Amino acid sequence: MILIRKQYFLNVQKSWLKKWEDEGGQYLHLVDLDGALKGKSQNLDVVEMILKTVNIPVELGGGIRTMENIKQVLDMGVSRVILGSVAVKDPQLVKEACKKYGSERIVVGIDAKDGIVAVDGWGVSGNVEAKELAKKMAEAGVKHIIYTDISRDGTLSGVNAKATAELASYSGVKVVASGGVSSIEDIKILKGYEQDGIEGVIVGKAIYTDNLSLQEAIKIAKEG
């Protein structure tokens, strides 16, 4: 996972991107932090540079809230668009996007604390339970959800596997876990919930700090 702010991203070396790809990363997860706060993509020039650097699929979230912005991002070559706040504020748009671009290219990101969804860069409560939003998104045609426990994100305190599995089971949608992953042990724990609908995990800080080996994590995830 890469969080994009121009000043921050200038410190991320291109060699890191290729390293993660060479180690078997299947998707590169990008979040436009400036976009999340302003409600529209802000760093597409950086995204374009990343797209030219790697050959693995790239997914992008952060402030994408209109059909025009969705088209703009997909036309650039981004494989999947992650819709967050707009899923709460305008679920009809999510339905339209799934219908137009397909449920493999439109993913919903649900960021929550204590089971309640947060929007607008996590600064505002969406006043809806994460499980209920996931169910609503399933009805809109969504097939994949990224669930982030924001109380754990960036803390290396361990992934909230139980809440992630409950959301997957309740909604019937495949879910990617995010937030708090600290070690290989978290990957093993999530693997135990695979039958509940957890299909993957996003890892960020644990890789940057060398708490987790990406190659080892992928090996465990692929085990039958």
What would the CATH number be for the domain defined by 2-222?
Answer: 3.20.20.70
Residue 28 main-chain phi, psi, to 5 deg? -105, 120
Q: How far apart are CA 161 and CA 138, in angstroms?
A: 20
Q: Would you write out the chain's pLDDT as a tens digit for each of its 224 residues? A: 544 444 445 455 677 888 889 999 889 999 998 888 888 999 999 899 899 989 999 999 999 999 999 999 999 999 999 999 899 999 999 999 999 999 999 999 999 998 999 887 555 566 799 999 999 999 999 999 999 998 887 778 889 999 999 999 999 999 999 999 999 999 999 999 999 999 999 998 898 888 999 999 999 988 86
The candidate with the shortest Cα–Cα distance to 66, out of 47, 83, 79, is: 83
Q: Which pLDDT does position 93 carry in this prediction?
A: 97
Predicted structure pTM score: 0.91
| SS3 sequence of the chain | CEEECHHHHCCCCHHHHHHHHHCCCCCEEEEEHHHHHHCCCCCHHHHHHHHHHCCCCEEEECCCCCHHHHHHHHHHCCCEEEECHHHHHCHHHHHHHHHHHCCCCEEEEEEEECCEEEECCCCEEEEEEHHHHHHHHHHCCCCEEEEEECCCCCCCCCCCHHHHHHHHHHHCCEEEEECCCCCHHHHHHHHCCHHHCEEEEECCHHHHCCCCCHHHHHHHHHCC
Q: CA end-to-end span of the chain, whole Å?
A: 25
Burial class (CB in 10 A: 0-12, 13-18, 19+), 162: exposed
The candidate with the shortest Cα–Cα distance to 31, out of 51, 2, 54, is: 2
